[in-house]
Each structure stands twice: as structure tokens, then as C-alpha cells.
A and B are shown apart, each in its own frame.
Chain A
Amino acid sequence: MTLIYVALGTVFGFVLSRSGAADYDVIQGMFLFTELQLYGIIAVAVAVTAPGIWLIKRRGRTLAGRPIAIELKPLHRGNVVGGALFGVGWSIAGMCPGPILVNIGEGKVYALAALAGALVGAGVLGSLYPIFQRPFGLPPLKVGTGEG
């Protein structure tokens, strides 16, 4: 199974690299509305994934016959506040989480600094979770903010 996940990640990474989703200029162009490539990619990805999820849920089993269980993301104030902070970071770095790794693979040295920052940021949120829980109405620690 591990190799399957590496293979899927590799395909994903290659597509992110070649589509512009991991390209600083294409990201800035999206936010400037001068380059609509990314809007098209996200719209098509969602439009194709939605009926696919519906069909797989209806089937109810993985290829190996295990039950399909999708954990839904909890609703809390962090969805909006965290989203806004992430949007600022996406604009500054020109990368979202997956493309940080893709850019590292491509040989873009500065992406290593983005990864370091992201790990520190995630580490702070996790280590100080109880402090952020109340102001952002976050779920109990066992649940977390949502996986994914």
C-alpha cells in the first residue's frame, strides 16, 4: 500500500508542477485576476470529484472491500480565521501546502524555508491547542480542527 500512496503522490506532484498550481507567477496571477488557469483547475477538480465521491459512497466499499468512512470536518471559528491566515500565507509564499513539497522537489531552494515556516506554524498550533481552543471555539483535542 505504501508504494501506491507514493505513486499517487508522485502523479499529484507532477500535475501540480506542470499545471501552474505550484508556480509562484500563476498563483499571483490568480489573485490578481490576470491568469485564470487555477480557477479552471479547481473548478474542474471539484466538479469531477463531487459526483465521484457520491458514486464511491453509494458503492460503500473500497476496492479491497473495506467500508468507506469519510470523517467530516467540524465547524468552528477557526475555519474562517485560519482560512484567512492561510490565504495571506498562500499569497506571500505563492504556494499552498502540497506545492511547497512540489517546489522542493523541483529544486526551488527557498521552498525549504516555506516548509520550515509551515512546520513551525503547525507545531505552534498543536502545542498550544488548549490556548486557542476557547477563542476560536475549537473542538475537543481528541477531535482536532479537522484532518486534511
Chain B
Amino acid sequence: MSLILHDLQPLHWALAGVAIAGVTLALLLIGSRRLGLSTGFEDVCSLVLPAPYFRRAAVLSGRGWRLPLLAGLVLGGFLSAVLGGGWEPTWALGMFDRAIGLGPAGKLVWMFVGGLFIGFGTRLAGGCTSGHGIFGLANLEFPSLLSTISFMAAGIVTTQIVYRVLFPLVGAP
């Protein structure tokens, strides 16, 4: 399967896994930081929202390293596009376009709704794929095991409903 981005062939999974582990361990070894990206949403919220939750030391003290990390993620995606065939704004969405086929306005609504679940869910869970799924599991934390099982199961059920029941895609992907 090739990527939506310029039909590139994906990196080998083992190489990608080692690289992600390398970044995770570098954060710990350099800054005593535990990897966790969804807390970055709180960091951004804390820039504009006055609620006491966003004034906690845990949030304010993390902004100094997490916001630069988040900026790096955007930059990494940008460089990947530039080096992989050029950067240009795109609405391409792979099998979504083939099976569901909403236009730009529909995609924005669809993604906004998905984002609501992601933002609220990850912060209620206390972590996401990185904080629970990678760091938490690797650090043998029980809450992370529960959360990882929960989000994987929910993702499987949702996608099965969307692509096998509601919008079945014949012969693909």
C-alpha cells in the first residue's frame, strides 16, 4: 500500500518503530521528558483559556518543551512533503474519497467531529497513542494498558462499521 502523500512507499515498519523509540528515549535522556503529544492540546488551550485546569503547574511547565516539539511535528510533515515530491495544499483523502466521497465542506465537518472525539477523549484518558500506547506501555503502566486496549478496540469497531457496513469498499484497500 502506498501513502496518500505523493504515492510514496512507506518506510519499513521495523525502521519506523526503532526511529520512534529513538525520539522517545532521547526526550527522556536529554530532558527527563515523558513522550506525550495530546497534552500539547492543553498547552495550546492554556494560551487562551483562563480555566483553572489550564493554569496548573503541570501544564504551564510543560509548554516550554512541548510546544517546540509540536512545531517540529508540523515541520517534519512539511519537509516530508517537500522532499517527497513537493509541498502543495491538498484535499486528497484516499479511500475516504472512493467510498464516502464528501467534498471539502463535508470533509471539514467530518474531521472537526473526529477532532472533538480525539481532543476530549485523549484528555479524559490522560494520554494518546504516544503517551499511553508507546511510553506508558513501555514503562509498564497499568492505566496505559487499559487505555490502549480501549482506543484500539473502539477504533477497530468504528472503522469496521464505517467501511464494512455503512460505506463498503468493493475489492479494496
Contact = CB atoms under 8 A, between A and B. Distances in A.
A binds B: yes
Interface of A: 1-26, 28-38, 40-50, 52-53, 56, 62-64, 66-76, 78-98, 100-111, 113-127, 129, 132, 136, 138, 141-148
Interface of B: 1, 3-5, 8, 10-11, 13-14, 16-32, 34-42, 44-45, 49, 51-54, 56-59, 62, 64-66, 68-81, 84, 87-96, 104, 107-144, 146-160, 162-164, 173
Contacts of A145: 123-126
Given A28-B163, A97-B129, A44 B18 contact: yes
Given A119-B41, A146-B127, A44 B91 contact: no
A70 B144 CA distance: 14
Contact of A14 (B41, B79, B173): B79
B68 to A, nearest CB: 4
A104 B111 CA distance: 12
Contacts of A121: 41, 115-121, 123
Given A2-B64, A91-B162, A44 B116 contact: no
A63 B34 CA distance: 15
Contacts of A113: 107-112, 115
B116 A118 contact: yes
Contacts of B11: 15, 18-20
Contact of B70 (A56, A81, A95, A101): A101
Nearest to B9: A18
Contacts of B44: 119, 122
Which secondary structure dominates chain A's binding surface? helix
A121 B92 CA distance: 25
Contacts of B113: 92, 117
A67 B31 CA distance: 10
A85 B3 CA distance: 26
A117 to B, nearest CB: 2
A122 B46 CA distance: 10
B70 A147 contact: no
Contacts of B96: 24, 94
Given A44-B13, A105-B77, A87 B154 contact: yes
B29 A148 contact: no
